[in-house]
Structure 1
Amino acid sequence: MKKILLLLLILTPSLLRAQQRYNLGMETTDVRTALPAGWTAFTTPESDSRVSTDSTMVYSGRYAIRLTKDSSRAQTPGIAAYTVPVDFYGKTIKLRGYVRTEAVEGGWAGLWMRVDGTAAFDNMQQRGIKGTTPWTPYEIVLKLDGNATQISLGGLLTGKGRVWIDSLTLFVDGKNAQLIPAEDIAAKTAEMNWLKTHAMPLKAVDAGHGGDDLQGLKPLIGNARIVALGECTHGSGEVFRVKHRLLEFLVTEMGFRIFAIEANLPEASIMNEYVLYGKGTAEKGLDALYFWTWHTREVLEMAKWMRAYNIAHPDKMVQFTGFDMQYSKGACDNLLQFAAQYAAELKPLMDSVVRYCDRLKTAGADQAFSREDKVRLKEWLEQAGDLLKKNQRRYTQQAGDSIVEWQARNLVVLQQYFLLATQYGSSFNIRDKAMAENIEWLAKRYPGQKIVLWAHNGHVSRHPALMGGHLDKTFKKQMVVIGFGTAKGSYTAIKKGEIKRDNVLAPPVPRSFEGYAQASGIGNFILDIRKRQLQEEPVSWLLRYARLRSIGSMAMDGGNAQFEYNILPDAYDALIYLDNTSASEVL
């Protein structure tokens, strides 16, 4: 019996470490970062600070985090950070940890904690630790409410000296967060019954299966001018196939005639020539789009379907276009060809612009452009625009309204492209705003035509900074946004510099749409989540911050990295859930 007790005493610490959901004790390390796993260092050359793992000075266990700062520039602290997803409920969150300092001066050291999604924050500024102190416990207590998305916490050092952080514990209403059991979603009978009652089961993934199970989309879409179809990854085959099926339904049963994809606006004309008139091939059309994400078997089959539909319905043809602006070649080629045929006075300006485009191909924007360069580019593009306006009548007589209108848009795309290339640090907002502007132009270019958009969830979402948020200001109820989620499977993405199809979808995390959807056992379905549809209490999980899978072109490891928070009814009108998806087939 004594031997058994002794064995349990020896094993207990390691068993407890194995059960830890959060690496708050720093006992698991990451060989890639040389820091405790999950921890991040925020330092800058100006702060003259370093964050490292220390195995010689610890409060307990094997490791602690050490922050070192060689100067006392208080405005540029060294920070060690860790995030904990809010997969629990409570009123207060308390961080307790042990801190040791050595010769801290010209600033302070301490713990810090922030409740993301709220304004709750404390960095111990008013009670910061200074000088040399032994291991001492400190606490931070903040309010926790339903808007909380994640807890960000760690240690910081604003002054010169050294500080060690160890043995952190997080308490939710007095309970150790490590020991709070995961939420049993399947046991939530009311929520599951609500979901089963309101979900529209999706009977088929592929096009060509009729639209009986899609009829519930008609009252949701109504007379909307735009339907935006998102995707939870850029490489999920079944998501692409369902989007193809939805395009088929929207074209054949609801009169949509414009298809616009997250690809460069000028270059998409090559695919449009194929789907409208059979010029070239669908494969060459995909090549012109640049992105490997669309160079897939699934998108190829959709383009071929569009061509077949147009052959059978010459009076109801659907067009293929893009709305992105990340490349300059298509716009430059179009403008140079126009100059050669109709506008010789435009050629010198375009030759200068092309030379700058070529510089961007071989150097980063910071190396390629000086302030003077940016001024010149702006002037050249403005002068080209002035020429088009000044000679519009002559150009129109020679080339026609449509060609002149497209050349003016090519110039706008170039302006957007150079703004994106030369405004480092704000590219995400610049691109989304520009894509929204191009979609608005398409809507004016084709008055009365209904448009299907194809892009990532992260672009179609109505978040104010995203493409969908910009479009919402113009189209409001004339736009319906449909997001996608999936519970398990594989996906295509770039990993270690190569396109890989063996990336694994992490299981749904707590407080995620996919978690509830998977627990319901419904299978694939469509769910209307417009707020006026959400009148019953069991949908409170939808109205709070919930998580939805979001992976771009780069592979992401771990469940927390693969999901992002949102108030889903604010971002989308409907969600499509696919229980199991596989990697898209890159050609």
Structure 2
Amino acid sequence: MLAAIASPSQAKEESRSLNLDFERVTPAGEAWGWGRWGPRNSNFRFEVDSSTAFSGKRSFRISGTSHGVGSAETVFPVNVAAGRHVRYYGRIKTAIVKEGFAALWWRVLDHDGTYNLSRTATECASGTTEWRECSVAIDVPKTVADIRFGISLKGSGSAWFDLLGIEIDGVKYVEPTLFDPSEMEIRTLMEHAFTFDTHLLDNDDLAALNPLFEGGQIVALGEASHGTLELFELKVRLFKHLTTLGFTVFAIEASMPEAAKLNEYVTGGHGDPKSLLAGLKFWTWNTPELLALIEWIRAYNQSKDRKIEFWGIDCQIAETAIRNVRNFLSRTKPQSLVRFDEASETISGRNPTSETLEALHDIDEVLTLFPSDTSNSRLTWAKQNARIIRQAVYARASMASREECLADNALWVLEQHEPGTKMVLWAHNDHVSRVPITYPRMGSLLSTRSDGYLAVGLTFGTGSYTAVGSRGIATYAAVPAERGSVEWALGQLKSKTVAIDLRPARRGAADLAWLSRELDIRSVGARATADQFVPTNVTRQFDALIYVRDGHPTKPFGLEGPLANDRDDAGAIPYQ
């Protein structure tokens, strides 16, 4: 929403998701919305300061003694700024800033994984200064994939930031205020909802949810966090039920080459399933719930003619893909190994550069020497692994590129099967979203390429979850849902589990119109954060939403004790 231009010296307005005035803080006292994006330099201190402010009660302070850069960042909606002129401004105060400066910055990430535009206001403030206004302007291209903006301190000293603002084509950007449903609207919600007294739904309960899946060929099951036990248990039950509706492909947010070994196991191969699960290299999935599902799929396949397959669709890890391509070449064109090895060594662990792009071209060229033959499954698999090598390079530099790879790989899996094959996707709520969240997501890309794409979000109301944080992989508290959040509204139904079909609201059902307003929803992922809620339009993001009242932490294999809360490291299981 764009509103009239306002002077930055005027009284503050409430910023719900960008928190441009730093007045909104988390229960832990951190600046709401500024803790979940981007890395933080451990040589700097980041904090909300209640003793110093240009306006209101709080400002954001960055202080340090190093000669590096300490930066805090957040994201801006791509659809609002694409193709527009942006002016980003704010107030800065400094104390004894040496060998550097305090600044505002704005960066635009393109779809190829590179920052094609970056602007930093380098002349803002250094030394010791009182509050002064600083600004940076940029023309955002229409092809933008991701927008980051933030505040930073280069060098030693302290800098305070306050009353940030953004203008789009000369008009001040004002965010929509989140909506708080009335008691009448909550009662109407009850009339449309499926309610249960447990998250461990039985066959009759699951059958009652069949309308949620009508018309679906790709049903994506999301999750508000990667470490909530009840959501995992419910998703396992949902998948088992969906197999009775003809779904035969299980695909998860995990690396494709590593998951292929699990697919061999569930379809009759040999191996230790627990070791194969750990081999995915995602601690998030290395849990008893996923192991039990793998064993269930294998047992199912031994008793049924119609087989269920287990696939990964992620592209973050290239090592196994490199080995797979190399093994193929060693059997078919050993003379090309030297060129391949040189190319794969060049790209290892690196972002897109002219050198890595040339190496990727070499890998592609080696495989183009083979005639196109869709009946040659080994060649098809080798070419897909080469594609994953390329995807991994771009995914390191761009989250938008990773979303594209998730969508592309999911469709590639379906292309290997008969037309009409049905797939269940297991991923985070943000990934399965039908609409872009800052940049295009897997779900938004699939929804434009498949008429049968259905996104089912899963969230929880209270409790705790497992994540990577200051204590390593451990249990962290869930921030209580407040008024204005989806979880608070669903919690008013007083049931342990609530499911609702959001499509009628999206089509304009008058009695559910309030669901199409901006509401907070929990979004955690694999990393612990005090910033656990983000505003969204749930009717656009999901086709259905399932809420579980109580959340408890998952217990990944390989951790000592209940969850080794006193650990300072992430354990032996890599974080991805």
* TM-score of Structure 1 vs Structure 2, range by shorter chain: 0.5 to 0.7
Offset, 1:510: 2.7
Query: How far 1:271 sits from its partner (Å)?
Result: 0.7
**Cα pair 1:550 1:563 within 8 Å, conserved:** yes
- 1:196 aligned to 2:179? no
2:231 aligned with 1:261, yes or no?
Answer: no
- Give a deviation string over 1:306-343, Cα, whole Å, max 9, x none: 11111221x11100001111111221121122222233
Shift of 1:420: 2.5
Counterpart of 2:234 (choices 214, 220, 242) is 242
Distance 1:509 1:81, change over 3 A: farther
Contact 1:26 1:167 (8 Å CA) reproduced:
no
Question: 210, 221, 225: which is aligned to 1:218?
Answer: 210
Q: 1:380 and 1:61, CA in 2 relative to 1: closer, same or farther beyond 3 A?
A: closer
Question: Which amino acid in the other structure matches residue 286 of structure 1?
Answer: L
Q: Tell whether 2:262 aligns with 1:287.
A: no
CA gap of 1:543–1:23, structure 2 versus 1, over 3 A, is closer
Aligned residues: 448
Aligned twin of 2:407: 436
8 Å contact from structure 1 (residues 228, 452) kept in 2? yes
2:296 corresponds to 1:305 = yes
Q: 1:167 to 1:251 in 2, by over 3 A?
A: closer
Confirm or deny: 8 A CA contact 2:432 2:455 kept in the other structure. Answer: yes
Question: Once the 2 structures are TM-superposed, how far is the Cα of residue 411 of structure 1 from its aligned partner?
Answer: 1.1
Aligned to 1:585: 555
Structure 2 CA distance for aligned equivalents of residues 31 and 518 of structure 1: 23
Partner of 1:505: 478
CA deviation profile, 1:204-242 (whole Å, cap 9, x unmatched): 5347x32x1122433332242110000000100110111
Shift of 1:163: 11
Whether the aligned pair in 1 keeps the contact of 2:284 and 2:556 (CA below 8 Å) is yes
Tell me the SS of whatever aligns to 2:370: helix
Instruction: Call closer, same or farther: CA 1:490–1:64 in 2, change over 3 Å.
Output: closer
Where does residue 454 of structure 2 map in the other structure?
Answer: 480
Does the residue aligned with 2:258 lie in a helix, a strand or coil? coil
Deviation at 1:442, TM superposition (A): 1.1
CA drift of 1:51 comes to 11
8 Å Cα contact 1:230/1:460 also seen in 2: yes
SS at 1:277 equivalent: coil
How many Å separate the matches in 2 of 1:29 and 1:201?
31
Cα 1:342–1:582, aligned 2, differ >3 Å: closer, same or farther? Answer: same
How far does residue 193 in structure 1 lie from its aligned partner after superposition?
1.6
Which residue of the partner structure matches residue 371 of structure 2?
A: 389
Q: Deviations over 1:41-97 (max 9, x none)?
A: 99xxxxxxx9999999989999988999xxxxxxxxx999999xxxxxxxxxxxxx9
2:387 partner letter = V
Q: Could you tell me how far apart the structure 2 residues matched to 1:491 and 1:275 are?
A: 29
SS at the partner of 2:366? helix
Q: Structure 2: how far apart are the matches of 1:265 and 1:165?
A: 44
Shift of 1:416: 1.0
Q: CA distance change for structure 1 residues 376 and 56 in 2, over 3 Å: closer, same or farther?
A: closer
Give how far 1:445 is off: 1.0
Q: Which moved more, 1:446-455 or 1:331-340?
A: 331-340
The unaligned stretches of length 5 or more in structure 1 are: 1-21, 43-49, 69-77, 84-96, 103-132, 137-153, 169-181
State the Cα deviation string for residues 482-508 of structure 1 (Å, max 9, x = none).
0011101110000126100x2111111
* Counterpart for residue 494 of structure 1: 468
Match of 2:501 among 528, 535, 538: 528
What secondary structure, in the 3-state scheme, does the structure 2 residue paired with 1:190 have? helix
CA distance in 2, matches of 1:456, 1:29: 23
Alignment-derived partner of residue 535 in structure 2: 565
Distance 1:551 1:342, change over 3 A: same
Matched to 2:430, the amino acid is G
Residues 347/216 of structure 1: CA separation in 2 closer, same or farther (3 Å cut): same
1:26 Cα offset (Å): 8.4
Tell whether the 8 Å contact from 2:254 to 2:280 is kept in structure 1 after alignment. yes
- The CA deviation at 1:376 is 2.9
SS at match of 2:184: helix
SS at match of 2:250: strand
More helix by share: 1
* Distance in 2, Cα, partners of 1:428 & 1:98: 30
Structure 2 distance, partners of 1:27, 1:441, is: 44
Match of 1:339 among 318, 329, 341: 329
Q: Deviations over 1:243-284 (max 9, x none)?
A: 1001100002x0110000001111111111111104112112
* Partner SS for 1:215: helix
- Per-residue deviation, residues 496-551 of structure 1 (Å, max 9, x unmatched): 26100x21111113311101011221320211001457655442331011121100
The amino acid across from 1:195 in the alignment is: L
CA deviation after TM superposition for structure 1 residue 29, in Å:
13
TM normalised by structure 1 equals 0.66
Q: Is the 8 A contact 2:199 2:548 kept in 1?
A: no
1:450 and 2:422 aligned:
yes
Q: What secondary structure, in the 3-state scheme, does the structure 2 residue paired with 1:380 have? A: helix
Is contact 1:334-1:407 (8 Å) kept? yes
Q: Secondary structure at the match of 2:547?
A: strand
Q: Residues 199 and 496 of structure 2 are in contact (CA less than 8 Å); yes or no, is this contact kept in structure 1?
A: no
CA deviation string 1:110-160 (max 9, x = no partner): xxxxxxxxxxxxxxxxxxxxxxx9999xxxxxxxxxxxxxxxxx9999xxx
Change in Cα spacing, 1:24 to 1:302, as seen in structure 2 (3 Å) is: same
1:459 aligned residue (420, 431, 436): 431
| 3-state secondary structure, aligned to 1:241 | helix
Identity of aligned residues (%): 31
Cα deviation for residue 571 of structure 1 reads 1.0
